[in-house]
Structure 1
Amino acid sequence: MAHGDSAPDGDTRFDTQVYAQRLARAAQLTGAAGLDAIVVGTGPDLRYLTGMTADTFERLTALVIPAVGAPRLVTPRLELAAVRDSAIPDLDVTVRDWVDGADPYALALAGLEENSVLAVSDSLPALHLVPLADRLQAPLRLATPVLRELRMIKDDAELAALRTAGAAIDRVHARMGQWLRPGRTEAAVAADIAAAIVAEGHTEAAFVIVGSGPNGADPHHEHSERVIGADDIVVIDIGGPLPIGYNSDCTRTYCFAEPPAEVAQAYAALERAQAASVAAVRPGATAESIDAAGRTLLQEAGLGEHFIHRTGHGIGLSVHEEPYIVAGNTDVLRPGMVFSVEPGVYLPGRWGARIEDIVIVTDDGAEPVNTRPHGLTRLEDDSR
């Protein structure tokens, strides 16, 4: 178990007090939202609140957090090992285990009136949602307003984990010249990168995008058997979770030869746009204003139509979570929010480029957790 707020490398959860504070805050927000209780299924929300990692299949595992009173965990008896590995044994959480043939939904709703106002986490499967709804007279609500408020503002333990993740993925990018070379396939390069991601402290490579030449114009291209060419522009977008569960995500763009003037000019505009969006990050700014800061510069450079996705997404226990940095999102930024800033330029059938950092909203601006150079990085081409 970790000591204090931070988690040593290799640890899978934080100190118990971190989870105790989160559960207390969850109960407070539940009451403030006019709810009697929330039901949290397995996944990132449950891990956030208890440190427990488990999967829900046909058997219900759920954490019930009432506005008043102690939380309780309903879980199949065969999942008790996962409970023991979490912070739950040290928390004020009642565990109600059950065996096949029992009614876990009755256990989940015990102590609640039939007309209780109940909200559920948005990932709870319909397999469990419907039986819960059948037992209540009032319609179920989504617990998203409670859970998003909790998870969107990172505490000190989470920020430390995200900084560690950012430094680890930066070390992988720093070694890119070892693997990324003309004549190799994208898939071969991706396999080497994936191994390096694990070697640098991640539990797995959650994603490895190696987009060379025209494949770089597809933002969600992964990798293929395409042979990388000496004149290619190559987008490398990589990341994964640490043992504690928090994720890295960083994109840099590489080349092997002096790029054509058109590419160099477009990339310079992209670099200015990414810097402008990072510079706009501060408490009180809106999420959409960060998107607009960089997008406006790309539009002025005649590249607006080639920036085809939002500027960023929140990150934590999930690679993509709130807040989303996109036009129309008027959420006001607050210290402790963490998200990507990743504008891109994509020329279909030709080439693409993206620059991505994860940034923390501080009291007076932004703290990037990724510090690798942002320019179009030229690697040595041994084939020339």
Structure 2
Amino acid sequence: MTSTAEFSRRLSRAAQLLRASGRSALIASPGADLRYLCGHDVHLTERITALVVRADGDPVLVTPTLERPGADGSGVTNIGIDIVAWDEAQDPYAVITSLLGGSKVSVSDRMWAQHLFGLNEAGSVSANSAANLMAQLRMSKSAEEVESLRAAAAAIDSVHAQLEQWLRVGRSEVSVAADISRAIIDAGHATVDFVIVGSGPNGASPHHDASDRVIEAGDPVVVDIGGTMPDGYCSDSTRTYVVGGEPPSEFAAMYDVLRHAQQAATSSVRAGVSAESIDRAAREVITEAGYGEQFIHRTGHGIGLESHEPPYIVEGNTLQLEAGMAFSVEPGIYLDGRYGARIEDIVVATENGVDNLGVAPRELRVIGG
């Protein structure tokens, strides 16, 4: 549970960044930005809810009157946020623009277009995306956030530890995925975000879901799973298994290259290095082994209140890592029509190196029968 002091720190930092950028206010819509700034969790609908963080002045949560009880119960008033409710006959955009203290505002990049249009019509705001501002706030995790991510990683690791029960020859991918989904909830997650079970040639598609394909003896199977914990923080972990028999020697050799690439990238993580250098560390190992063209995605993505968020670990991202930045390290090799493999852990950059939150075995495991 995020502390009151932590929310207050985030709001103060947001106001500081607004002043530095010459913007008068930040308008955060429902989603990860709103949850990060004040802990209030509500769905995006045609009735606008918005947190107005002002460069000068106290923050205000604007909510429909019919949702006022939920806002009151969220605890936002405990961190110095006033609540303003708007009635059905009111123009909520006029209510919001009256609070801005200026026309230059930054808005959540997930805000619906209809709400942005409504704000502009009500007050002729000059809006830009708050994505960069929010990234500055959210990329470096606090100690509290790191512990939330650690708990999420432990929960998803416990699901991988049970896969031998379900991953068997003769079962369909979708049946295995259903068992995994139940286990993700049983492990303590509030929601299941994704379950990828890619057997045989389906493993060569990085974002394969789960199909009716029946798992065959000796199939490599990519299992990429994740969910959201009750406190909002996400898990994401990938392991590759072989089911019901020894893999082809060529697959075992390929997997050994992948394991060394994932280790090389993980070992290169520390505060002060660039995001692209982590990608490069993995890619060099895979390219030298002759699989460079089969590594078709970035090495990683940030994680927190969303399973994909900055920083992105990819060539061209010169961002210098800071202590507390959390992201995946997940190189993969994909041979179209044959099989694929991926290993993924969530790591946190530290001043002296890396805190690897994933503990599930990375060696190639033969399971099931």
Which of structure 1's runs of 4+ aligned residues deviate more than 2 A?
Answer: 134-139
C-alpha displacement of 1:345: 0.6
Report the Cα distance in structure 1 between the residues aligned to 2:235 and 2:310, rounded to whole angstroms.
Answer: 15
Report the Cα distance in structure 2 between the residues aligned to 1:80 and 1:121, rounded to whole angstroms.
Answer: 21
What RMSD in Å do the two structures reach over aligned CA positions?
1.2
The corresponding residue for 2:231 is 244
Does residue 60 of the first structure (1) align with residue 48 of the second (2)? Answer: yes
C-alpha displacement of 1:99: 1.4
After superposition, what is the alpha-carbon deviation per residue over 1:288-316, rounded to whole angstroms, capped at 9, x for unaligned?
11000010110000000111110000001
SS at match of 1:207: strand
The AA in structure 2 aligned to 1:130 is F
The corresponding residue for 2:214 is 227
Among candidates 61, 73, 87, match of residue 73 of structure 1: 61
After superposition, what is the alpha-carbon deviation per residue over 1:107-130, rounded to whole angstroms, capped at 9, x for unaligned?
1122445x5311111111111101
Identity %: 50
C-alpha displacement of 1:85: 3.2
The corresponding residue for 1:176 is 163
2:94 touches 2:123 (CA, 8 Å); kept in 1? no
The corresponding residue for 1:364 is 352
1:19 touches 1:87 (CA, 8 Å); kept in 2? no
1:162 touches 1:248 (CA, 8 Å); kept in 2? yes
C-alpha displacement of 1:82: 2.4
The corresponding residue for 2:201 is 214
Report the Cα distance in structure 1 between the residues aligned to 2:136 and 2:11, rounded to whole angstroms.
Answer: 13
The corresponding residue for 1:11 is none
The corresponding residue for 1:30 is 18
2:52 touches 2:100 (CA, 8 Å); kept in 1? no
After superposition, what is the alpha-carbon deviation per residue over 1:326-375, rounded to whole angstroms, capped at 9, x for unaligned?
11111110001000000001011110100000001111111111011111
Report the Cα distance in structure 1 between the residues aligned to 2:220 and 2:73, rounded to whole angstroms.
Answer: 46
1:53 touches 1:82 (CA, 8 Å); kept in 2? no
The corresponding residue for 2:119 is 132
Report the Cα distance in structure 1 between the residues aligned to 2:93 and 2:317, rounded to whole angstroms.
Answer: 36
Report the Cα distance in structure 2 between the residues aligned to 1:130 and 1:138, rounded to whole angstroms.
Answer: 10
Normalization by structure 2: what TM-score? 0.97
1:194 touches 1:204 (CA, 8 Å); kept in 2? no
Report the Cα distance in structure 1 between the residues aligned to 2:7 and 2:271, rounded to whole angstroms.
Answer: 26
The corresponding residue for 1:118 is 105
Report the Cα distance in structure 1 between the residues aligned to 2:99 and 2:266, rounded to whole angstroms.
Answer: 49
SS at match of 2:23: coil
Report the Cα distance in structure 1 between the residues aligned to 2:3 and 2:75, rounded to whole angstroms.
Answer: 8
Structure 2: give runs of 5+ residues left out of the alignment: none
C-alpha displacement of 1:318: 0.4
Report the Cα distance in structure 1 between the residues aligned to 2:221 and 2:70, rounded to whole angstroms.
Answer: 42
Normalization by structure 1: what TM-score? 0.94
Report the Cα distance in structure 1 between the residues aligned to 2:31 and 2:124, rounded to whole angstroms.
Answer: 27
1:33 touches 1:146 (CA, 8 Å); kept in 2? no
C-alpha displacement of 1:138: 5.4
Report the Cα distance in structure 2 between the residues aligned to 1:123 and 1:377, rounded to whole angstroms.
Answer: 40
1:52 touches 1:85 (CA, 8 Å); kept in 2? no
SS at match of 1:339: strand
Rate the CA distance shift 1:51–1:111 in 2: closer, same or farther, 3 A. closer
Report the Cα distance in structure 2 between the residues aligned to 1:183 and 1:37, rounded to whole angstroms.
Answer: 58
1:217 touches 1:346 (CA, 8 Å); kept in 2? yes
The corresponding residue for 2:308 is 320
Does residue 17 of the first structure (1) align with residue 5 of the second (2)? Answer: yes
C-alpha displacement of 1:137: 4.6
Report the Cα distance in structure 2 between the residues aligned to 1:81 and 1:170, rounded to whole angstroms.
Answer: 37
Report the Cα distance in structure 2 between the residues aligned to 1:260 and 1:207, rounded to whole angstroms.
Answer: 29
After superposition, what is the alpha-carbon deviation per residue over 1:43-75, rounded to whole angstroms, capped at 9, x for unaligned?
010001111111121111001111111001111
Report the Cα distance in structure 2 between the residues aligned to 1:240 and 1:85, rounded to whole angstroms.
Answer: 25
> How many residues align structurally?
368
Report the Cα distance in structure 2 between the residues aligned to 1:221 and 1:286, rounded to whole angstroms.
Answer: 30
Report the Cα distance in structure 2 between the residues aligned to 1:82 and 1:332, rounded to whole angstroms.
Answer: 40
The corresponding residue for 2:94 is 106
The corresponding residue for 1:40 is 28
Rate the CA distance shift 1:277–1:96 in 2: closer, same or farther, 3 A. same
Structure 1: give runs of 5+ residues left out of the alignment: 1-6, 8-13
